[in-house]
Structures are given as structure tokens and as C-alpha cells.
């Protein structure tokens, strides 16, 4: 890969970093306690999303002719990394699903859902996880069948972010009677569609709760199908690959901030008449963290650049997600150890980071599932 980032990417990185340092980090003390502790007060949220729109960073991967930023996977990865240096970042830089709508949607669907999403008028959500199917996307059981001039959906989903406020849901279903990879279908379900219900809130360890979704003879017209009937497997896996790079980038952002905090604290905290930074045990913790973060960046940027150049990145994204999510756990843990009791309290962001990073080894495919897929590919 090209190990030196392009000048335009470095400029973008610097712009977002300055925005995070100036606008987001000072707001971390205003984040609420759980649940949904990513959510800033509404007035602040609207102000920040407006600034993000002015920067041209809404719908980052959606082409410019559709109102997006037109950025590739590498630039998008760089932005995500910088944004997640702050615990306030997740709540204001959220997915619009505009890219999927751009690639698969009809002109009517784009005008109805994509354009307003890009403008920030409302947001959507996506739903493919089920009680019986998480990382095994081909195992979904929610069905869709043609009936009465439209389509009827039956089944349920779980662990769905922002479903309670979404104007629409992109739901992954399968044509009734099909199995595994065959017959998978995306469908757009409006929040007020009869037969569709947002169920209980699922309280999570980190800062954003999820929701159950239920579809009971939920009828939608034929114009709500997204993409060609039965061909959602390819777009669904592309969505997962992109999501794995994004999770890895989030992990790097959190790791970078925690390493920075560990270094700063080690310099000012004294024990037995000397700064912590003079202790070999602390020095080695910081050195190990720096080595692992640098290694991770090379791996994640490589996967993002390969994706940008059109390569198949099934293995690279799995490797990047495994390494990044396990790397950040070690770096956050070391930072907490260096801070001592202060690292366990809400006087720093470390305890929040500790909770935020744990789900990363589960979402978008568990570390164990990723390792099995890598091994299967190598041993075939």
C-alpha cells in the first residue's frame, strides 16, 4: 500500500481533528449518563450537525451529484478515526445509508429517502440482525412474499440502533421458501407502516441502546423493494465489509485518545517523589500501546485503500476488525491502569471508553467468527 497518506487526505484529517478538538471534546462533560449516553442536548446536536453539513461531511461516501461528500473508503476511515477521539463523536456523525440507496434505489426512492437523509431532515436505520442470525447474515428468517399487489413481511429483528427515531428502516429479508444466500431481499419500511412495530428498548453496556423490531403481516407496496428481487446478498456483504472498516477506525480513534491521556498523565502524576513517566513499567506500557496503534493503522488503512481501489477485501476487513478491536482493549486497559483510581471514575472518559469498546468485538461479526472465516479462506 501507499504508506504515506495523500496530501488531500492529510488536509482532511487535520480539518476533522481541529473540529473534534474545538467542538466535540469540550462537550464531553455534557453527555448524559446511561442509557443513550451519546446523545447531546437537542439544541447542541442540531448546531453540530449543521456545522458538519457545512463542512461537506454529511453522507460521506455518497457521490457529490447526490448531495454527499463523494469520499472513498480511505478518507471515510480517516474521518471516523478522528471523530472517535471524542466520546461525543458517535452521536453527531451518524450513518445515513445514502450510499446503499444511491446504488440500489429507484429515482423515486432516492428522492423520498436519500435526499432528505443527506440534508439531515431525518434519518433511517438498517436491520439485519435477528435472534438466530447475527454475523451469519445468511441465516436470517424474516420472510417476504408477494401478496395483494404488494409484499408481506413477517419476522423480527433485534439489536437495531436508532430504530425508535428512524423515519424508515432498511430491512433485510428473504423471499419465502428460499434458503441461505439465495433469495435475500432489502425492503424499505416506513416507520408508520401497519404491521410494523418497534419493540422494547435493549439496554446496552455502551452509550447507545438498541431496539427489537416486529413485522406481523406487514404489507408494503412493490415500490418499497430495494434492488433486484432476491439479490441482496452481495450488497449486504458489502455493507458488512464497510462496517468492519468503520469499527476498526472507531477503535483507532479511541485508542489514540487514551494513549494521549496516558502519556499526559504519566508526565504529571508523581509517586514516591518521581513522575510515573520515569518508571520502566509505565514506559513499557506506553511503548507497547504506541507500537500496537501504529501497526493497526497500517493494517486498517491498507484494507480501506484496497477497498477504494475496487479489490475484494473480505479477508483484509476481517483481519483489520479483529486486530483493531483487540488492540484498543489493551490500550484502554493500560491507560486506566496508569491513571489508577482516577481511571475508574467518571472524572475521566476512560471508564466510558472501556464500556464503548467492549461491543466492538461482537458487532459486525464476532472475533471468533472472523477468525474462522479467515482460516477457511486460507485452508480451502
Catalytic residues, by residue number, are 364
For 352, the 3-state DSSP assignment is helix
- Residue 206 to residue 359: CA distance in whole angstroms: 8
Phi, then psi, of 137 in degrees rounded to 5: -60, -30
Phi, then psi, of 129 in degrees rounded to 5: -70, 140
Using the structure block, give the residue that is written with the C-alpha cell 458517535.
90
Whole-angstrom Cα Rg for the chain: 21
In contact, 36 and 209? CB cutoff 8 Å: yes
Using CB atoms within 10 A of its CB, is residue 127 exposed (0-12), middle (13-18) or buried (19+)? buried
Closest CA to 130 of 158, 154, 161, 153: 158
Q: Which residues pair with 221 in a beta bridge?
A: 150
Compute the C-alpha angle 237/242/244, nearest 5°. Answer: 95
Bridge-based pairing of strands 168-175 and 124-127 is parallel
Closest CA to 57 of 92, 104, 101: 92
Q: Which residues pair with 152 in a beta bridge?
A: 145, 219
- Alpha carbon 88 to chain centroid, angstroms: 14
Phi-psi region of 97 (alpha: psi -120 to 50; beta: other; left: phi over 0): left
In contact, 99 and 110? CB cutoff 8 Å: no
- How big is the chain, counted in residues? 380
Compute the C-alpha angle 38/40/46, nearest 5°. Answer: 125
Amino acid at each position: 500500500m501507499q504508506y504515506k497518506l495523500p496530501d488531500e487526505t492529510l488536509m482532511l484529517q487535520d480539518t476533522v481533528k481541529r473540529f473534534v478538538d474545538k467542538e466535540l471534546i469540550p462537550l464531553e462533560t455534557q453527555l448524559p449518563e446511561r442509557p443513550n449516553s451519546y446523545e447531546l442536548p437537542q439544541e447542541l446536536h442540531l448546531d453540530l450537525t449543521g456545522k458538519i453539513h457545512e463542512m461537506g461531511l454529511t453522507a460521506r461516501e455518497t457521490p457529490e451529484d447526490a448531495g454527499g461528500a463523494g469520499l472513498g473508503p480511505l478518507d471515510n476511515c480517516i474521518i471516523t478515526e478522528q471523530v472517535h477521539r471524542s466520546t461525543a463523536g458517535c452521536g453527531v456523525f451518524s450513518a445515513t445509508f445514502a450510499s446503499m440507496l444511491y446504488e440500489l434505489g429507484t429515482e423515486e426512492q432516492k428522492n423520498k429517502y436519500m435526499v432528505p437523509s443527506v440534508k439531515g431532515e431525518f434519518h433511517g436505520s438498517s436491520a439485519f440482525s435477528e435472534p438466530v442470525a447475527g454475523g451469519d447474515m445468511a441465516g436470517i428468517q424474516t420472510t417476504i412474499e408477494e401478496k395483494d399487489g404488494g409484499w408481506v413481511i413477517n419476522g423480527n429483528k433485534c439489536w437495531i440502533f436508532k430504530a425508535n427515531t428512524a423515519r424508515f428502516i432498511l430491512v433485510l429479508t428473504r423471499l419465502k421458501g428460499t434458503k441461505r444466500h439465495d433469495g435475500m431481499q432489502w425492503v424499505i419500511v416506513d416507520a408508520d407502516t401497519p404491521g410494523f412495530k418497534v419493540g422494547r428498548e435493549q439496554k446496552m453496556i455502551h452509550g447507545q441502546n438498541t431496539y427489537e423490531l416486529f413485522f406481523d403481516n406487514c404489507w408494503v407496496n412493490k415500490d418499497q423493494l430495494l434492488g433486484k428481487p432476491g439479490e441482496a446478498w452481495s450488497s449486504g456483504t458489502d455493507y458488512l465489509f464497510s462496517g468492519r472498516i468503520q469499527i476498526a477506525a472507531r477503535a483507532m480513534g479511541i485508542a489514540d485518545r487514551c494513549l494521549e491521556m496516558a502519556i499526559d498523565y504519566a508526565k504529571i502524576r508523581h509517586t514516591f517523589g518521581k513522575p510515573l513517566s520515569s518508571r520502566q513499567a509505565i514506559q513499557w506500557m506506553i511503548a507497547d500501546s504506541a507500537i500496537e496503534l501504529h501497526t493497526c493503522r497500517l493494517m486498517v488503512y491498507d484494507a480501506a485503500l484496497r477497498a477504494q481501489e475496487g479489490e475484494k477485501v473480505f479477508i483484509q476487513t476481517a483481519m483489520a476488525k479483529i486486530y483493531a478491536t483487540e488492540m484498543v482493549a489493551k490500550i484502554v486497559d493500560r491507560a486506566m491502569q496508569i491513571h489508577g483510581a482516577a481511571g475508574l471514575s467518571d472524572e475521566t472518559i476512560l471508564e466510558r471508553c472501556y464500556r464503548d469498546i467492549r461491543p466492538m468485538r461482537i458487532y459486525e461479526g464476532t472475533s471468533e467468527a472472523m477468525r474462522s472465516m479467515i482460516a477457511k479462506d486460507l485452508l480451502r
